[in-house]
Structure 1
Amino acid sequence: MARPKPWEVDDELWVVIEPLLPKVERWTRHPGRKRHPDRLVFQGILFVLHTGIAWEHLPPELGFGSGMTCWRRLAEWTEAGMWSRLHEVLLAKLRGANALDFFRAAVDGSHIRALKGGSKTGRSPVDRGRAGSKHHLITDATGIPLAATLTGGNRNDVTQLIPLLQAVPPIRGKRGWPRRRPDVLLGDRGYDHDKYRRLVRDLGVKPLIARRGTEHGSGLGKQRWVVERAFAHLHWFRRLRIRWELRDDIHEAFLTLACALICWRRLRALVSDAVG
């Protein structure tokens, strides 16, 4: 049996995605050309995310529709807030399966090049001052992405500490109130600032952040390595290794979609382990 391609959407995933898509009614008197099937277009978007290919080079023989069709549908679904809802639904499923560990969370940032510039870019201090952007990520204790943000490459990691915590959606999946905050937040020396420690405590979270000027070996690396592994998983999607989009919301859409796909893979792994 041939192994499915990573951009192919199986029936189980489509059952989750389809109800989240905005409904588009066709005109009855002048309907025009029939809209290309959403499932095929979604697979075209996944193809670009996985391969990093330019929209205009999307292979027509795969049936995804034209690159412009896929780009327009991506922009349409982004405006409708579909990607964050998909991520939130999958996080709820993980919590319902007892696969989320909210005892502690880890944060980190990662630079990427922005070859075409655009909003949320800046002179990157780690790339000879070239235009760049930065991915900021918060994960649970097992490395599941809880939220991600995008800034210019010249922004300090610590400035995104509070926005990351606030970006975590209310995660349902169990009876009672949804969960939004971890008990403990881990960060490296880039987040060492007493002002932000106070702000984190004000949100009801205990900060465990390495101090500048101290020797390596604080022990936090044994727990916060999961966020670095999560970045490796995110940047396995070639479209996230270099920012090609002028529009920051389109790149953020790819970023959030990739987080959702990582959640889906964890869910599938749980099912496989249960069956095995």
Structure 2
Amino acid sequence: MTLLTFKQKLYTTLESHYPKTELDSFFKIILEDVLKLSKIDFALEPNSTISDQKSDEIDDIIKGLEQHQPIQHLIGFTEFMDLKLEVNQHVLIPRPETEELVHWIVDDFKNNTPIDVLDIGTGSGCIPIALSTNMKNANVSTIDVSIKAIATAKRNATTNNATIQFIHQDILATKKLTNQYDVIVSNPPYVRDLEKIEIQKNVLNFEPHLALFVSNDDPLVFYRHIAQLAKTALKPNGILYYEINQYLGKETVELLQNLGFKNIELKKDVFGNDRMIKASF
């Protein structure tokens, strides 16, 4: 297989499954992360030969994409704020919007004062690891109900030289947080069952529903419970940060107001959707 035949096979096999923009993205990812080449390398030597081992690897990736498996699962990792993170069926694949949430926290606490941070809902570890590596004086802890998610996040912390305290705990069953924090941050499950129709196959069929979905009847269950815990677990001047359901910005603000939070700020993501909230108590 040459580079050119690889590209032709990718596009021909998958053109009925994905838009061209996504195929362009797949080609770039496989070129860079599997073959360790750039688009310039391809342009200069499109007829260079790919080894049999790499050809087999690419064939497997194309077959997986044909079944709508996430490209990140097929290559085994994703990138988040310049970090390389392992992802698998036990954790959500980090989204660009979550990077915006992390940047918000880093910008708010860039004076290098030592702070204590709690992340709720570890997943791949993207939030706590990014905070730890970008805030050198942050003491970061993280909670998740999934042992397998924590195991994945621990490997990611080791790979990225981040020191994190991992806690296996069901936050909805937690009556009180034992420590005090300057920052409590969470990107909890927030997709309502009624919104499943909007979810792409690669997410719906291959990412953990435990970390994605909440009932239509009480979609803010995690936000309410975490906020109640935060009322006694935030230090003076501490801040609670959430990533939120874009359709429930107004409702989430009202929830925090009703629980006595103040200085509530609702922020849009780069796509113009209500996506982040911060508040103090």
Higher RCO (Cα < 8 Å, 6 or more apart): 1
Q: Which has the higher Rg, Structure 1 or Structure 2? A: 2
More strand by share: 2
Please say whether Structure 1 and Structure 2 have the same fold, judged by a TM-score greater than 0.5. no
- TM-score normalised to the size of structure 2? 0.25
- TM-score normalised to the size of structure 1? 0.25
